[in-house]
Every structure is written in C-alpha cells, then in structure tokens.
Amino acid sequence: MNIYALWMTKFGALSPLRQVAIMVGMATISSDILAALAFFVIGLQTPYRVVGVTTVIVVLVSLPLGAFLIGLNFKLKQLAAQLDLESRRDDLTGLLNRAEFYLQTQRLFLASRPMDSAGALLYIDADHFKAINDRFGHATGDEVIHEIGQVIKANIGGRDLAARIGGEEFTVFLTDADLGRANWISHKILIAARTIGRELELDKTPTTVSIGIALHDPGQSLEETLAVADKYLYSAKHQGRNRVVYG
C-alpha cells in the first residue's frame, strides 16, 4: 500500500468532525504560510497585490484539497459498487445469488412479448454431494461446488443468467433459447462436470450432475417454470442421475 492509499484509509476511518477539522487546519496553515511568504517576498502594499496574492493562495490551497476530496469520493463510489456487486453474487462460485437471479429472470419474462417464450431454464443438482462432503470434508465439497460454478459459467452465453440457489443446486436461464440449445448446453455442462473429480484428485470418486430442462411458456411465471424444471430434475435423479431430462 502506498503512502497516499494509507493516508486515505486512515483519514476515512476518522469521525466526520475530525475530518473537517483536519481539512480546515491544513487549509489554514497552508494559507498562512503562503501569505507570509508573499508578504516578505513581494510585499502587499497595494490592493492589486493583495487581490492577486489572495487569488493565488486560494488556487494553490484549493487544488490539492479538491483533488483529495475527489479521490476520496471516487474511492467511496468504487467501494459502494463493489459492495453492491458482492451483495448480488454467491461468494463461493461468483454466480448470481437466488434473489438476484429471480429479479433478473423476472425482468426477462416481463420484457418478452406475451406470445413468445423468454427462453429455457435449467435446474442443476450435484449428484451424491453429501457423500463427497462426508468422505473428503466440507472444504473439498466447497471446491467441487466452486468448480461446478466455473463449468456453468464457461458454457453459457453473455445474455444468459446463472445462479447458485442452494447448497449444491444451480439454475441457469438461457435467454431466447429453444429446446435444442438448452439440451446442447446441458450436455456440455454434464460432460464437463464429470472431469471435476479427476482434476481435484478425489480418488476416482465421480462428480456428476443431474439436469432438468423447462421451456418458458408464454405468460408463465418464473415459479411455474422452475416447478417444471424441478419435476424433470427429480425424474433425472430417479432414472439414475448423471443425465439430462426434459419434456
């Protein structure tokens, strides 16, 4: 951390009253020093000199203080933006959290024409995840969840939405997708997830996912679409897991 950043951090930690006192004190001391120098160097015998020196002092004092305040405001805006982003993301995977996924998906539903489908929804669940936690520990389980999140992000488009909505449960909304694209992307995720156990050296323990696909019907709510996808996910589990099921 450089001196400026350290000073900004310490200054920002002070109370507002102390911050104001420090800025006023710095401005006063700087102005007094510059006024004294001007008096002894060029003299202040005429009104013109007094006005000119005062103007120069104001500019010289206000520029660094203004730059400091602008820099502080910029840092605060960056921090606020970062906190806002973090509040909408899942810490472990970097995907959207449940609330943000619901909000953004519902916006897509409202933006679509009443007679058109908004896209396709994937409901994804890690298979036998409790067994991984029990055998290798929760830290390894977290690594598996993280890697599943990376697999999902790597296989969807920029207009698509992905979220972790529970412990080992994920949802993906493929904007304007038909069943063909949804099935293709689901199988890409399915195949990529199988390599996670090998990459994490889980002693040949399989890491697989089950996926249920639901197309959004025109006028259908998000909850209704999720219920259909959940039904197909349940079917995938009962058919032996490690598969994609849709209607």
Are 172 and 225 spatial neighbours (Cβ–Cβ below 8 Å)?
no
Question: What's the helix, strand, coil split of the chain in %, to 5?
Answer: 60, 15, 25
Sheet hosting strand 209-215, strand order edge to edge:
161-164, 169-175, 119-126, 209-215, 244-246
Backbone angles phi, psi at 16, to 5 degrees: -55, -40
Cα–Cα nearest to 72, from 134, 10, 25: 10
Cα 100 to chain centroid distance, Å, stands at 10
Is the Cβ–Cβ distance between 127 and 229 less than 8 Å? Answer: no
Catalytic site residue 168?
yes
Choose, from 143, 168, 201, 223, the residue flagged as catalytic.
Answer: 168
Residues tagged active-site: 168
